[in-house]
Structure 1
Amino acid sequence: MKIKKELPYLLLILPAFITYTILTFIPLAMTFGLSLSNWNGSVIKDLKFAGLTNYMSAFSDVRMTTALKNTLFYAVMNPVCVTILAIPLALALNSRMPTRNFQRAAFFFPSVPSILILGYLWSYIMSPMEFGILNKFFGLFGLDAIPWLSSPKMAIWSVLIVSVWSMVGWHACIYIAQMQGISSDFYEAASIDGASKAQQFFRITLPLLRPAVASSTLLLLTSALKVYELPYALTKGGPGSATTMLTQIVIQTGFINKKYGAATAMSIIFCAIVAAIGFIQYKVTHKKEV
């Protein structure tokens, strides 16, 4: 009897379920099956079962482990640096200055152009050659040229600098929106109790920014883990493998080396890492206060 009552509702969601199965579950199953093969992208009849060889090779591949270290370093440092800069910037832009709208637009603008275009622009600005704008500027003060993109130690930090510059204004706007939702009654009560501006920030503003911090961090973390365009535009993964990311290794393995089975296995490992990190981040930022 219960099934008869629910049957019309089940029939209503059946088209959506079928569509989702065709577009999601079947491709996922095919992807996993492909990761267990040695397919080179030519004809299906050449596809041979390889078992877990692709997965074991991925973990023993020096390029993969190096790219994983670079990606994790970038994924940790990018949200930290952006958050540290975006919150003070949001405080400054949340004031009642007459030019606040113009200032917000100016800081937000770097997030508007394509990150690939910004990468090529900054590769010219940070060029270690004599026409590099930054090194020319430092040369006016008698300072030595800095190998922004040619030094293995500096290259990853240069990528990080450009990334933070392009994102800090956008995430400051997220914090501004959250700040404007905080009632002024809290600050008035704190002022009456003799709380300083610093105390009001750490006792009122910062705790109430927690939802915005969670959203901002999640956006930054997911975008950092799948980064590809910026390191490619700035250094093409170099010098050596100093800025090579996981996404670059997957694309090189699949589309350049024609090892689609190995590339698919790397992609599945990468997705598992992203899912695990995202889950941990969600649990940490949404942890209920006792």
Structure 2
Amino acid sequence: MTFTNLFGAPPSELAEISADARQFSPLFPGAENLHDLAPGSLKNLAMLAPPGAIERRHSLALALRALAPGAPFLVLAPKDKGGGRLARELAEFGCACNETSKRHHRICSAEADGDQAAIEAAIAAGAPRFSDTLGLWTQPGVFSWDRIDPGSAFLIRHLPEFSGRGADFGCGLGLLAHAILRSERVKALALVDIDRRAIELCRRNVADERAKIVWADARAVNPQILGLDSLDFVAMNPPFHEGGAESRALGLAFIDKAAAMLRKGGQCWLVANRHLPYEAALARNFREVRQVAEEGGYKIVEGRK
């Protein structure tokens, strides 16, 4: 059948999706939120299930609550990223399925049904919560949701006292933003992330009138429309995984976008795993490039426009 509701981006050869399907994944800026739907209101759903166990069960439970009883529900995931557990997890929700395997994915076809108590328990388990360890609101599935990422911690220790207008690309929970906003010389800071959950958490975590929180893919931001042109600084811990695989293109695109948004003399500060070859992209975009620090497999590099 052709699915008119979508969570994530299942491979087109494994699921037939309508060209105007409604998207519900938090990783697609502008998508709707399954949590906001009335129970039983969806007629069908195709889902590329997330890899994290708590996040996946939370997403499955939200879908089962939103789907009408008996509605077609197609769930798939790579075998090594949760696919092997899908059928069992659906059964634990009281939802039987037919399971097949194709192109390294496990595919579960089901008719929506389930144990409401189990569904609500999984929704609660994956909901936002306050972390005493982080001192921030967090949620399973968001980058570094249960610990301080060592790369970000390293960058925070070496940040200069920024001034003027800037941006935090891939802001996550807002850890880096907190450090940047300690400087009274910072006039405005845009927090940009592709993950709706991170953006919602930042709205709880960063209570500063200088912060502008933007749900967007940093690679696709239009600086003029968002008022983010001629910035004085950009700081970032760019992601280097997409769809579970390493992708150096993400960091390279972040660097290109930062250069496009900075004024002459503006600064780009980034932390990255030491093996990632970002220096050539920095040299191409910036007048001056220097390595600030290196430690424990990470490096901090500054580029000046």
TM-score, with length taken from structure 2: 0.22
Structure with max Cα Rg: 1
Structure with more of its chain in helix, by fraction: 1
Structure with more of its chain in strand, by fraction: 2
TM-score, with length taken from structure 1: 0.23
